[in-house]
Amino acid sequence: MAKLKPDQLLQAYRGRDEYAEIARAAARWVSDHPRANRQELLSFVAATFGAPPVFKLAPSQAPLTIFGAVGTQIPENAREQMEMVLRLPMATRGALMPDAHLGYAMPIGGVAVLADAISPSFVGYDISCMVMLSILDLTPDAFMADRPPLAAVLQQVTAFGLGADFPVGAREHPVMDDALWNEIPMLRALRRKAQIQLGSSGGGNHFADLVVIDFLQDEETHGFRRGDRVTGLLTHSGSRGTGYQVAKHYVALAGTLTRSVADGIPRGYEWLDLSSEPGQEYVAAMELMGRYALANHTLIHDHFVAETGLGIQARIWNRHNFAWLDQGGVIHRKGATPAETGQLGLIPGTSGTASYLVRGLGNAASVHSSAHGAGRTFSRTEAKRRHDAGRVARHMRQEDILHFGLAPDESFMAYKDIEMVMEIQEGVLIESVARMMPKVVIMGGQADDGD
């Protein structure tokens, strides 16, 4: 029989002033009753200290700010999901970005602040999905003249597609030496998967693009000026299958623990108490997945410049599936870009349209956030049904974009108009610093890690 863990089972009592006394009494009782089961422990605690409180959905939601018109620019079902998020008893405020669309529980493009709690499903299954830009010392003219061989190198230095990985030892990074891989049992079991997927991109909407960048205003941090025209490598991926398994484990754990202290909470909207052992363990695992995702991008970019002999003038990156522990609560961004005042961020468009380098304006109503992309108009299934191969081919020829591995559900037709998304947030959430047009697009086809 597995040993009882009072710290997990007593989650409902954490708000009580005498919690430390309750925990000590429970630990002593477990020591005296080694063969007792979960219900017997809870019965002892309830008889000694009273029944625990039961969490329920609030009758009304916490404040929500929506950037975009519901019904035309943002689907109604995304707003309904966000309203459910904000009825959780620990929700304090939230926002919907203009690229928002239906997700699992919390919508993509949603931002929510929870007090003293963290929700693995609100972070998402692709923990620390993120974007990285390296600005190269290569002029656009030189790039366009040498585009096919550069595209070939880019295909060689990462791995795309379902189950993409490398032989053991082909990619190395200090993140694999992190002590957490051995300290958390479920991470120990995932370490080999993480090693062989290190430096890979995966499938779905993950990509590696070579882009021509036009600066729309001065960017003083890295010394670029309005009118500058440069070339860059832009990548989008996350923590791969490893992050998916981490998310799956903690989403299930949050469900079990929430059901023990709450009633009527819909599936997917569960949480972990931030001060509990499971909550702290999830935070540690999530942050490791953040470092792992950053390592993946870094390896792709570093191997590309090593193979081509190019140099990097600037490197910019941001996460958009993550939780940030803030004094005002835990900020969950599920498909939303941090946009603190002056903070640089990346908002990718689609395989056939522009992406943007932006500067945050620190809008408090958006919880200092902005869109993370164009946002899907159609589900993957519906996008495949509506796919017009001829139209996509004509568009890509017209825009002079070399493309590889582009799935029907990942063409520009499956997404909102990025220019509309940018117009809604321009001067409100962000200001555009540079426009980036893809000229080489490499994708991995079928999604394989929950994106």
Q: Summarize the confidence of residues 149-169 as an average pLDDT.
A: 87
Instruction: Out of 36-50, 256-270, 412-426, pick the least confident.
Output: 36-50
Which pLDDT does position 451 carry in this prediction?
39
What the block records as the tokens of 368 is 């200092």
Which pLDDT does position 447 carry in this prediction?
60
User: Is residue 444 a contact partner of residue 208, using CB atoms and an 8 Å limit?
Assistant: no
Q: Which residue has the tokens 């908002």?
A: 347
DSSP 12: G
Asked whether residue 1 carries a pLDDT value surpassing 70, the answer given is no
Which pLDDT does position 450 carry in this prediction?
43
pLDDT tens sequence across 167-182: 888 899 999 999 999 9
User: Is residue 185 a contact partner of residue 427, using CB atoms and an 8 Å limit?
Assistant: no
User: CA 96 to CA 105: how far, in whole Å?
Assistant: 14
User: CA 332 to CA 61: how far, in whole Å?
Assistant: 17
Q: Which residue has the higher pLDDT, 54 or 348?
A: 348
Asked whether residue 305 carries a pLDDT value surpassing 50, the answer given is yes
What the block records as the tokens of 210 is 């070579």
Asked whether residue 3 carries a pLDDT value surpassing 90, the answer given is no
Q: What is the pTM of this model?
A: 0.90
| Residues of the chain by 3-state class (helix, strand, coil), percent to 5 | 35, 25, 35
User: CA 307 to CA 156: how far, in whole Å?
Assistant: 10
440 confidence band (pLDDT: 50, 70, 90): very high
Which pLDDT does position 6 carry in this prediction?
74
Closest CA to 86 of 264, 328, 269: 269
Q: Summarize the confidence of residues 201-219 as an average pLDDT.
A: 95
Instruction: Out of 25-29, 116-120, 372-376, 426-430, pick the least confident.
Output: 25-29
User: Is residue 368 a contact partner of residue 337, using CB atoms and an 8 Å limit?
Assistant: no
449 confidence band (pLDDT: 50, 70, 90): very low
Helix (H) or strand (E) holding 292: helix 277-308
Asked whether residue 339 carries a pLDDT value surpassing 90, the answer given is yes
Adjacent-strand bridge partners of 315 = 134
What the block records as the tokens of 287 is 């942050």
- Percentage of the chain beyond pLDDT 70 is 97
pLDDT tens sequence across 355-366: 999 999 999 999
Which amino acid does the sequence have at 229?
Answer: R
User: CA 377 to CA 200: how far, in whole Å?
Assistant: 27
User: Is residue 437 a contact partner of residue 211, using CB atoms and an 8 Å limit?
Assistant: yes
Mean of pLDDT over the chain: 94
Closest CA to 93 of 424, 328, 362: 328
446 confidence band (pLDDT: 50, 70, 90): low
User: CA 376 to CA 378: how far, in whole Å?
Assistant: 6
